[in-house]
């Protein structure tokens, strides 16, 4: 019985959240109405998600007065459910699955705005309302990505839809970046290379160990996508694919992945030292190395080793006697 109710509550919650995203961008509405409708929908959706988590434990935890419940009241809607504050209390003391403080504060602030819009005129500025919405959604998304609530595959797609909508707003990105500082610092301490993400522009793109941006990254993006986007963002770059039919992203000689593009200028000195050490070459006076970086495994290579595959024409870093790129070699060997 609880399983079906969890799915129903989660589905309803995500429907309100989708509505919130759409209302915020609806040009047919005035800005005050956009803020009002999107805040009410988002707060309602978040509250329902908390209730879905309670229902996952037992459906009666959603009821304000379980002793007054009668058969059929759920289906007919003849019951009083708890509010956000009671939900947090029950999650902590009964379910033993509390929501961490930053998330609960953000959700409560969102609920306060919702109450203002519902009961009287909200006089908060657009910037404040937007920041409150996006901060609350960031923390809720953090819970969902941590499997706080069981979601179906279809519901997970709804979460991704809302996330992609929110990623358009710098306040949302700022909130995620601020909350992920420790994780980003840990990546650096673990000797991962962390670069500015070409998509969200935050220094949170972790190279290697499943390359992804810790702020905006999702399962759709891979090392090739990051490398291509980074190359396109370099000043003065045009797309060689349009002019010559050549993909500027080269195959890596180390990992075989198609993810090598010019290394960031800030890393040029480190990259050259790495190439000299890895290839065991002497850097003679006047010798200019043009370092490339693999966005998959993080090694550096010299542009001079880049050639076209004799079979498919793709670029690859030739550091062995092979005349084909890794993909063609694996296909024909």
Segment 45-67, tens digit of pLDDT: 999 999 999 989 888 888 877 77
Torsion sign, CA atoms 143, 147, 148, 149? positive
Q: Report the number of distinct structural domains present in the chain.
A: 3
Torsion sign, CA atoms 9, 10, 14, 17? positive
Together in a domain, 30 and 163: yes
- For residue 19 the two structure tokens come to 């509505």
Task: Report pLDDT digits (tens) over 244-276.
Answer: 456 788 998 888 899 999 888 888 888 888 888
Together in a domain, 216 and 301: no
Task: Report pLDDT digits (tens) over 171-228.
Answer: 788 888 887 888 899 999 988 899 999 888 899 999 988 898 988 876 567 899 899 8
Question: Does a structural domain hold residue 235?
Answer: no
Q: Write out the residue range of the structural domain in which residue 189 sits.
A: 179-224
Together in a domain, 154 and 266: no
Q: Using the structure block, give the residue that is written with the tokens 């550091």.
A: 319
- For residue 320 the two structure tokens come to 């062995």
Gyration radius (Cα) of the chain, Å: 26
Question: Does a structural domain hold residue 213?
Answer: yes
**Which residue, among 163, 133, 162, has the nearest Cα to 17 in the 3D structure?**
162
Inter-residue contact 210 to 190 (CB < 8 Å): no
pLDDT of residue 16: 94
Residue 310 pLDDT exceeds 70: yes
Encode the chain in three state secondary structure: CHHHHHHHHHHHHHHHHHHHHHHHCCCCCCHHHHHHHHHHHHHHHHHHHHHHHHHHHCHHHHECCHHHCCCCHHHHCCCCECCHHHHHHHHHHCCCCCCCHHHHHHHHHHHHHHHHHHHCCCCCCHHHHHHHHHHHHHHHHHHHHCCCCCCCHHHHHHHHHHHHHHCCCHHHHHHHHHHCHHHHHHHHHCCCEEEECCCCCCEEEEECCCCEECCCCCCCCCHHHHHHHHHHHCCCCCCHHHHCCCCCCEECCCCCCEEEEECCHHHHHHHHHHHHHHHCCCCCCCCCCCEEEECCCCCEEEHHHEEECCCCCCEEECCCCCCCCHHHHHHHC
pLDDT of residue 302: 86
Question: Does a structural domain hold residue 36?
Answer: yes
Together in a domain, 257 and 216: no
Question: Does a structural domain hold residue 309?
Answer: yes
User: ∠ CA 304-309-314 to the nearest 5 degrees?
Assistant: 90
Together in a domain, 95 and 212: no
What's the pTM? 0.68
pLDDT of residue 73: 60
Tell me the pLDDT of the chain averaged across its residues. 84
**Taking the CB of residue 231, how many other CB atoms lie within 10 A of it?**
19
Together in a domain, 255 and 157: no
Together in a domain, 18 and 98: yes
Rounded-to-integer distance, Cα 264 and Cα 269, Å: 10
Question: Does a structural domain hold residue 20?
Answer: yes
């Amino acid at each position: 019985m609880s399983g079906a109710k969890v799915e129903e509550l989660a589905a309803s919650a995500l429907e309100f959240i989708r509505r919130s995203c759409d209302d915020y961008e609806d040009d047919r509405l005035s800005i005050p109405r956009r803020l009002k409708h999107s805040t009410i929908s988002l707060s309602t959706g978040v509250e329902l998600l908390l209730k879905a988590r309670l229902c996952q434990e037992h459906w009666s935890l959603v009821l304000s007065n379980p002793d007054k419940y009668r058969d059929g009241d759920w289906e007919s809607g003849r019951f009083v459910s708890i509010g956000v504050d009671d939900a947090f209390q029950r999650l902590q003391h009964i379910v033993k699955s509390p929501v961490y403080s930053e998330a609960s504060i953000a959700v409560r602030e969102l609920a306060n705005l919702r109450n203002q819009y519902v009961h009287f005129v909200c006089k908060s500025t657009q910037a404040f309302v937007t920041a409150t919405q996006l901060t609350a959604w960031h923390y809720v998304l953090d819970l969902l990505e941590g499997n706080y609530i069981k979601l179906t595959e279809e519901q997970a797609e709804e979460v991704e839809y809302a996330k992609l909508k929110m990623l358009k707003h710098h306040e949302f990105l700022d909130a995620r970046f601020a909350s992920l500082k420790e994780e980003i610092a840990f990546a650096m301490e673990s000797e991962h290379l962390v670069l500015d993400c070409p998509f969200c522009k935050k220094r949170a793109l972790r190279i290697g160990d499943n390359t992804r941006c810790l702020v905006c990254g999702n399962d759709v993006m891979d090392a090739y996508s990051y490398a291509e986007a980074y190359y396109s963002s370099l000043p003065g770059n045009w797309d060689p694919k349009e002019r010559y039919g050549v993909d500027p992203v080269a195959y890596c000689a180390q990992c075989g992945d198609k993810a090598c593009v010019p290394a960031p200028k800030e890393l040029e000195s480190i990259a050259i030292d790495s190439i000299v050490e890895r290839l065991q070459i002497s850097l003679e006076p006047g010798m200019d190395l043009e370092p490339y970086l693999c966005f998959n495994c993080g090694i550096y290579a010299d542009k001079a080793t880049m050639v076209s595959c004799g079979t498919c024409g793709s670029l690859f870093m030739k550091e062995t006697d092979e005349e084909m790129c890794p993909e063609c070699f694996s296909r024909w060997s």
